[in-house]
């Protein structure tokens, strides 16, 4: 019954995101740990690594009545992310948006916790894979678009080329 399945966010032990994702997949649970390629500098070399986009978060697409226990009993899972004392349901549109951002070429994503960033200028993306999407520009930027993911209490920062953006009246 696919219609009973919803996306939820899980808290994991620090730096356990990929291990939890693998363990859940081995149990037959649909999970997703969003990764982005990051260049890391060591004293003797540079290396490109896959780093979790959300620290200590993994997403699961489950029927909470049937699969909740299996998810919570997975090594490294601490709990579901809660909103109003219930496991927070992540809208399919938000998951799809994150997936689209991660597939866009030459896009870097940074996360800022909390919802305290003041809204300033509304913009619309007029080119590229995100054409038609709107966001809010802050801190002198014509390059950074903050997309609010309200059910996570997170803000995703996506850098676009200036020519991709136009102000919305």
Per-residue model confidence (pLDDT) at position 166: 64
Q: Kindly state the average pLDDT of the residues 61-81.
A: 93
Its pTM surpasses 0.85: no
Domains of the chain, by residue range, sit at: 2-90, 94-167
- Looking at the DSSP bridge assignments, the partners of residue 148 are 155
- Looking at the DSSP bridge assignments, the partners of residue 40 are 47
- Looking at the DSSP bridge assignments, the partners of residue 87 are 82
Using pLDDT thresholds of 50, 70 and 90, give the confidence band for residue 150: very low
Options 3.10.20.30, 3.10.105.10, 3.30.70.940, 1.10.730.10; CATH of 2-90: 3.30.70.940
Task: Give me the long-range contacts of 161-164 (CB less than 8 A, separation at least 24).
Answer: 161/106, 163/127, 164/125, 164/126, 164/127, 164/128, 164/130
Measured CA to CA, the distance from residue 163 to residue 4 in angstroms comes to 42
Strands 165-167 and 121-125: antiparallel
Using pLDDT thresholds of 50, 70 and 90, give the confidence band for residue 118: very low
pLDDT higher than 70, residue 27: yes
Measured CA to CA, the distance from residue 66 to residue 89 in angstroms comes to 16
Cα–Cα distances in Å, from 83 out to 72, 88, 96, 151, 162?
17, 5, 21, 7, 35
Using pLDDT thresholds of 50, 70 and 90, give the confidence band for residue 7: very high
């Amino acid at each position: 019954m696919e219609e009973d399945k919803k996306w939820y966010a899980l808290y994991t032990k620090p730096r356990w995101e990929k291990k939890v994702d693998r363990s859940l997949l081995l149990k037959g649970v649909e999970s997703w740990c969003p990764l982005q390629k990051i260049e890391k500098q060591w004293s003797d070399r540079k290396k490109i690594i896959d780093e979790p986009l959300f620290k200590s978060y993994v997403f699961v697409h489950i029927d909470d009545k049937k699969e909740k226990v299996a998810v919570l009993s997975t090594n490294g899972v601490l709990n579901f992310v809660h909103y109003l004392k219930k496991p927070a349901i992540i809208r399919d549109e938000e998951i799809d948006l994150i997936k689209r951002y991660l597939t866009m070429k030459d896009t870097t994503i940074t996360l800022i916790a909390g919802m305290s960033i003041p809204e300033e200028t509304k913009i619309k993306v007029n080119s590229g894979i995100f054409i038609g999407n709107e966001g809010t520009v802050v801190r002198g930027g014509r390059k950074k678009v903050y997309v609010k993911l309200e059910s996570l209490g997170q803000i995703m920062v996506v850098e676009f080329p200036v020519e991709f953006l136009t102000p919305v009246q």
